[in-house]
Amino acid sequence: MKQKTLKGSFSLFGKGLHTGLNLTVTFNPAPENTGYKIQRIDLEGQPIIDAIAENVIDTQRGTVLGKGDARVSTVEHGLSALYALGIDNCLIQVNGPEFPILDGSAILYVNKIQEVGIEEQNAPKDYYIIRKKIEIKDEQTGSCITILPDDAFTITAMCSFESKFINSQFATLDDPKKYADEIASARTFVFVRDIEPLLQANLIKGGDLDNAIVIYERQTTQERLDMLADMLHVEHRDATDLGYIQHKPLQWENECTRHKLLDIIGDMALIGKPIKGRIIATRPGHTINNKFARMMRKEIRKHEIQAPIYDPNEEPVMDVNRIRELLPHRYPMQLVDKVIELGATTIVGVKNITANEPFFQGHFPQEPVMPGVLQIEAMAQCGGLLVLNTLEEPERWSTYFMKIDDVKFRQKVVPGDTLIFKVELLAPVRHGISSMKGYVFVGDHVVSEATFTAQIVKNK
């Protein structure tokens, strides 16, 4: 699967939730491997903030990104829409300190993205595949986020609000394709008991019943409720009339928890990679979401190079006979048994190492070890198959080493190991010259790696 960006730019206008300012945010296409970047075009030098978890500076009432003197808040709804719709690269420009709150959901972002369209790029999408359970807990709040291995990206959010109107709820997104219909239009919400502290903190200047669900579930005095109504510029209400205060009815009984799920996706966008895994979030909020995103980024850095998933039951893309048609190598120098993945810029091959390999007879026979140079040769053969796959008549060409760099051997390869080769083109093939980076895995571990340059030569 390839990376994606927008086909064109779009802008949205509205007031900021906390500042009340009239704001414009513009989403633009961006080159491959850009990720999400947010630019404050109203500030001197128009600084750009990378939308990554480490740049979050506040999570009290939303996600706030900052770098130097530049900061941008209320970014989670826009990022949620980008991430859920599979967009990898986007430059977002805003003319103030926050994104406009719009209707309090992500649906206007989704509508605009669908209107301008999504464009596939050439670079492969760089998924991070969850291979083990990862969890973070906050003992004080009871919040917990767990991610488990899964073939896709799914989320379940479970919330307990200690309110008779929205006590315990859950919401699930089992397919990102359902995001637009089932999650994107879920609106943000606030309890009346929380409004006064927010106003006293000089926040929610732009909050109203058009961009939030207000929940009045604990009776207060009529005088106090009238004062809050005046501060928010809404009609007075009988202080004994508990319930939802809103212009539009609830779209779903669990709309508040669906919005929590929307926020989780926006905060997970700050991981910087699409994820394949199942997230289970209990009592989520921006603080625990950001802690989890930071932990995931550390996990990714520890395993920057992930081993491809190998299922021996799946049919190979190339079997040993097809490989023999393309490569001139024969026993004992054919070092790739099959190819299990083949794209425009990436190939994954497999070799099973047995005790009968001829090189074990003379290479540490008392403690058999596969020679490192043969691991490099096997990578190069995979790379040759990758490059030949770009040609119209691959059988009429061969590839030859020109240069090998950055070779590292990390652990021994012994009988019984299954080698997984992953080779990627570093640049398009030009004038018959290709540059590639290769890795050899045993299980989840890199055992060797190298960068090499090869030349494509027509067979005589």
Determine which helix (DSSP H) or strand (DSSP E) holds 114, and give its type and residue range: helix 107-116
Give the residue among 445, 329, 333, 443 at the shortest CA–CA distance from 388. Answer: 329
DSSP state of 361: G
DSSP state of 459: -
Half-sphere exposure of 79 (CA within 13 A, CB side): 32
pLDDT(206) > 70: no
Task: Reply yes or no on whether 18 is catalytic.
Answer: no
Residue percentage of the chain with pLDDT more than 70: 96
**Please, which pLDDT band fits residue 207 given cuts at 50, 70 and 90?**
low
Kindly list the domain boundaries of the chain, sorted by start residue: 2-186+255-302, 189-245, 320-458
Q: What is the torsional sign of CA 347, 348, 354, 359?
A: positive
The whole-number pLDDT of residue 164 equals 72
Please give the structure tokens belonging to residue 172. Answer: 């699930």
pLDDT tens-digit map of 439-460? 999 998 999 999 999 999 988 8
> How far apart (Å, rounded) are the C-alpha atoms in residues 339 and 325?
13
* CATH code for the structural domain at 2-186+255-302: 3.30.230.20
Catalytic residue among 233, 363, 431, 445: 363
pLDDT tens-digit map of 389-410? 888 888 888 899 899 999 999 9
Give the residue among 232, 260, 257 at the shortest CA–CA distance from 246. Answer: 232
pLDDT tens-digit map of 135-193? 999 998 899 999 999 999 999 999 987 777 777 899 999 999 999 999 999 998 878 77
Catalytic residue among 18, 236, 247, 286: 286
The whole-number pLDDT of residue 411 equals 94
Task: Reply yes or no on whether 431 is catalytic.
Answer: no
The whole-number pLDDT of residue 444 equals 86
Question: Global pTM?
Answer: 0.73
Please give the structure tokens belonging to residue 27. Answer: 């989403």
Give the residue among 189, 170, 184, 8 at the shortest CA–CA distance from 84. Answer: 184
The whole-number pLDDT of residue 263 equals 97
Task: Name the more confident of 198 and 98.
Answer: 98
Q: What is the mean pLDDT of the chain?
A: 91
DSSP one-letter string for 33-89: T--EEEEETTSTT--EEE-SGGGEEE-SSS-EEEETTEEEB--HHHHHHHHHTT--B
pLDDT(202) > 70: no
Residue type, 391: L
**Please, which pLDDT band fits residue 201 given cuts at 50, 70 and 90?**
low
The whole-number pLDDT of residue 284 equals 95
The whole-number pLDDT of residue 229 equals 74
- Is 77 marked as binding a ligand? yes
269 phi and psi angles, rounded to 5 deg: -60, -25
Give the residue among 64, 81, 86 at the shortest CA–CA distance from 73. Answer: 64
pLDDT tens-digit map of 113-122? 999 999 999 8
pLDDT(218) > 80: no
- Is 233 marked as binding a ligand? no
pLDDT(35) > 90: yes
Task: Name the more confident of 220 and 43.
Answer: 43
**Please, which pLDDT band fits residue 220 given cuts at 50, 70 and 90?**
confident
Task: Name the more confident of 209 and 147.
Answer: 147
pLDDT(23) > 90: yes
pLDDT tens-digit map of 240-268? 777 777 767 888 989 999 999 999 999 99
pLDDT tens-digit map of 300-358? 987 778 888 899 999 999 999 999 999 999 999 999 999 999 988 899 999 999 999 99
- Is 259 marked as binding a ligand? yes
Class of domain 320-458: alpha beta
Residue type, 339: V
